[in-house]
Structures are given as C-alpha cells and as structure tokens.
Structure 1
Amino acid sequence: MVNQAYTEFKSLSSSEAEAAFQNDVQSEGYSGFRRLLDGLTEAIKTALDADMAEIESAVSKGRSLFPEPVQFSPSWEYVWAELEATIAAKRHALTAIAPADRTGEWQVIMDNPNAVQEVVCYPGLDFLDAAYLYAYFRPQLEKSEYIRLQKIQTVIQDVGS
C-alpha cells in the first residue's frame, strides 16, 4: 500500500510544490523522510516492467530534493545509491524473465560456498516478491557469495507430526 507522503511526492508538479514538500519533510525530520522512503520502497516492490522508468525518475527527484539524507539518519548516508542499485537489479530480473514465465512459486537463495555459514532461503514467494528480494540483496553481495532467483517446478513437502 502506497502511503500519503509518497502519493503527494509523486504528484509534485511545480518547483513551488517541491519546495513546500521539501520544507514539510525537513521540518518533520526522521519520520517525514522515513514515510517517503517507505513509499519509494513499496513502489519498487510492486513495480512491473512498465513502471521502472517512473520509479527511477522518482528516486532521482528524491535525490535532488534531499541530497543529504544523512541529516535525517546516519544509516541513510547511501540510501539513494542503494535504491538505485535495487532498481537496477529488479530491472535485470524483470528483463531476464518474461511475463509469461512469472507465474507459480519462486524462491531466493543466498550462499557463500567458501565460508562456513548458513544458506539463506526465502521460499514460497510469488514472482514480484521474489524479484524484489533478489533486487534488494543483489547489490549487497560480498566476494564469493551468490544469489539465485529461481522458479519452483516440482515440490514435495511434508510436515512433522
């Protein structure tokens, strides 16, 4: 569900409206900027092929209105680059997998075969959720780690008693 802050942000049509929005968010501080980021993140999650250019434009506008997000939180120092990398990875997933092949159950798996650590698996996802997780984690991969976005063709599942 897209929030009100993001809906307002998307509809900004003049430099005066942008300046007013910018002032409102800056006066609200952390929570105001957080609502904008939550809206952008939700838009990335739900974006389909035709939505990607609009999402890229929205992040670009956000970057121009709020070039120093670290003023809201130190953890947001690289938030614009992170969102851009997530969008690029999601665009890659959408381009690589044809719409006709997106039905069914999907999973995302991450592992580093050169390290003693657990394999991370997100099973039982629809394509959009799996594509978003792939896109979110892809830019964060460390050396020797890999990520897989894969469709489940056959499943045997048992539940313990």
Structure 2
Amino acid sequence: MGGSHRMLNNTYSDFFMLMSAEAEAAYQQEVCAEGYAGFRRLLDGLTEAIKAAADADIPNLERALNKAGRLFPEPVQFSPSWACIWAELGATLAAKRHVLSSIPPAERTGEWQVIMDNPQVVQEVVCYPGLDFHDAAYLYAYFRPQLEKSEYIRLQKIQTVIQELGS
C-alpha cells in the first residue's frame, strides 16, 4: 500500500526506472486512476528531461518517449489538448538531438539567441537574446516543429555585443 503512494510523489523518475512489464502495468494503472494530474506530472517530467538533456541523455529519452506512448496510447483521454503530445514531444526531442549533434561541446560557450520570423507576413520578429547554449537549444527544439510555411528559426551564437541602456 505505502509503495503506491510513494510512486505518485515522483512520477517521472519512477517512470524512467520502470523495468518490468508488471511495474509498467502498475504505473499505468496508477496514472489512469489519478487521471489528469498524474498524467500531467509525467508530461512535465518528460518535458523537463528534454529541456535538460545533454548529448548522452538523448537515447534514453527516446526510449522513455516510446515507453510513454506505449503505456498511454490515447493521451486525449486525459485532455483534448494532448491528442498529439507524443508526436510533439518526439519532434522537440529530434530537433534537440539535431542541435546537439551539429554544435560540438567546445563551441557551446558564450551567449546565444533564437530568432523567428516570417518575411512574408507583417509581424514582429521574435527574438530570445542572452541565453546560454542549453536554454537556446531547448527553445530552438521547442519552436522548430511548430514553424509555419515560409517562417524561419535561427539559433545563433553571439560573438560581439554592444549594449546601451536608455536613461
């Protein structure tokens, strides 16, 4: 009895450690019994793990996403907004893998920014300046799958900055 309550306290790390079919079934049952809140905790854990992921974490996260999709094939039952959540998280993880494999660790220092624009539409350019590499990599990975036709996204390292404050 006590074990089942412990599991709900830290859904994601317990999920990540599930090894046996029995443990998976018990976890699945608990999350389904708890409903929205339990599933939300799993999604938040997966999202945070993707955000924090370093190069070596990607294969384990890919396996974790596959397992989550297998245990919860119909996330829409928890919320209509989650109908495509596995595809969305998978696309974000794939974009993060692409960034990490494209930029060697030695080149990740310094200030980074992410810029998005659609030159065909009159709208503001969106810019996230002053980021460290891992925050910039996650923002790029998060927004990349959502790009509309003719929009672009750029992940850039800043070499030189001149900044003034108005008075």
The interval holding the TM-score normalised by the smaller chain is: over 0.9
Give the equivalent residue in structure 1 for 2:38. Answer: 32
Give the equivalent residue in structure 2 for 1:104. Answer: 110
Give the equivalent residue in structure 1 for 2:99. Answer: 93
Point out the structure with max Rg over C-alpha: 2
Question: Shift of residue 111 of structure 1?
Answer: 0.2
Q: Distance in 1 between matches of 2:48 and 2:86?
A: 15
SS at match of 1:151: strand
Q: Distance in 1 between matches of 2:39 and 2:66?
A: 15
Cα deviation 1:2-22 (Å, max 9, x = unaligned): x81101101111111111110
Give the equivalent residue in structure 2 for 1:158. Answer: 164
Letter in 2 for 1:147: I
Unaligned runs of 5+ in 2: 1-8
Q: Distance in 2 between matches of 1:13 and 1:55?
A: 15
Unaligned runs of 5+ in 1: none
Question: Shift of residue 159 of structure 1?
Answer: 1.2
Q: Distance in 1 between matches of 2:100 and 2:65?
A: 19
Corresponding pairs, count:
159
Cα deviation 1:99-144 (Å, max 9, x = unaligned): 1000011000000001011100011111011000000000000000
Give the equivalent residue in structure 1 for 2:146. Answer: 140
Give the equivalent residue in structure 2 for 1:46. Answer: 52
SS at match of 2:124: coil
Give the equivalent residue in structure 2 for 1:20. Answer: 26
Q: What TM-score, normalized by structure 2, do the two folds share?
A: 0.93
Q: Distance in 2 between matches of 1:76 and 1:159?
A: 42
Give the equivalent residue in structure 1 for 2:3. Answer: none
Q: Once superposed, what is the RMSD of the aligned Cα atoms?
A: 0.8
Structure 1 segments, 4+ long, off by >6 Å, are none
Cα deviation 1:51-86 (Å, max 9, x = unaligned): 100000000000000000000000000000001100
Q: Is 1:68 aligned to 2:112, yes or no? A: no
Q: Percent identity?
A: 74
Give the equivalent residue in structure 2 for 1:123. Answer: 129
Q: Which of 55, 58, 68 is the matching residue for 2:64?
A: 58
